[in-house]
Amino acid sequence: MKKVRCVAGAVGLVPFALAVGAAGATGTAQAAVTATGATTGKTVQMIPLSTGCAGNTYWSAKLYSASGGVLHKLWFWTRDDAPRVCVGTVEDSTTVYGDATNHQFRLRIYASQGTGFIREWNKVYPAALENGYLLATVGVHSSWPGTRVEVCGAWVQNNKSTSVTLAPACRIVTY
């Protein structure tokens, strides 16, 4: 049997707030994921299975301002489809400060099979501006092999996935 190692992808900027889960689950903000394993390991991308799956467990992550108000909220639904993890709908909102033009929502999803994370989803979506909030809703409805996923939402400008205007809100879910 061939041994395959997964090498982690980085999550971008380090989130700086407390991540809060539903159903009584609590957690802390996740720091950037670092590579694990030997440098001779192979990077393997796991192909998502577009199953039209819908999550049934609610999760959220929030970034707070210095005064304690919520600046950025990410929420999403997952489901344990052993041996896969399903990510259903992902939603995000942030308070608008200053110019709200040319902002888009970047969604990254990292899947884990073993000790590392592999970036599986990295797409930028249009945002809506409503009552002083930038809003985005993405129907992912796909699943990946493994027992853990990390979902990260960030706001970017001019369709550049690297020009982050607000640190990502991230949450790791383990089944």
Determine, yes or no, domain membership for 11.
no
The range of the structural domain enclosing residue 104 comes to 57-174
pTM over 0.85: no
Please tell me the distance from the alpha carbon of residue 127 to that of residue 141, in angstroms, as a whole number. 19
Determine, yes or no, domain membership for 139.
yes
Determine, yes or no, domain membership for 170.
yes
Q: What is the pLDDT of residue 157?
A: 83
- For residue 118, the domain's CATH number is 2.60.40
In this structure, the strands spanning 133-145 and 128-130 are antiparallel
Determine, yes or no, domain membership for 40.
no
- The better pLDDT of the pair 151, 128 is held by 151
For the ranges 3-7, 110-114, 129-133, 134-138, the one whose mean pLDDT is highest: 134-138
Tokens of 143: 């699943």
Determine, yes or no, domain membership for 138.
yes
Name the domain count of the chain. 1
Cα-based torsion angle of the residue sequence 148, 105, 62, 9 in order, rounded to the nearest 10 degrees: 40
Determine, yes or no, domain membership for 16.
no
Q: What is the pLDDT of residue 159?
A: 74
C-beta of residue 126 within 8 angstroms of C-beta of residue 104 = yes
62-115, pLDDT tens digit by residue? 888 777 767 889 999 999 988 889 999 999 998 876 666 788 899 999 998 777
Determine, yes or no, domain membership for 80.
yes
pLDDT over 80 (residue 19): no
Q: What is the pLDDT of residue 38?
A: 34
Looking at residues 143-151, what average pLDDT do you find? 90
In this structure, the strands spanning 70-81 and 57-64 are antiparallel
Alpha-carbon torsion (38, 39, 42, 43), positive or negative: positive
Please tell me the distance from the alpha carbon of residue 175 to that of residue 173, in angstroms, as a whole number. 7
* Ramachandran angles phi, psi of 138, nearest 5°: -125, 125
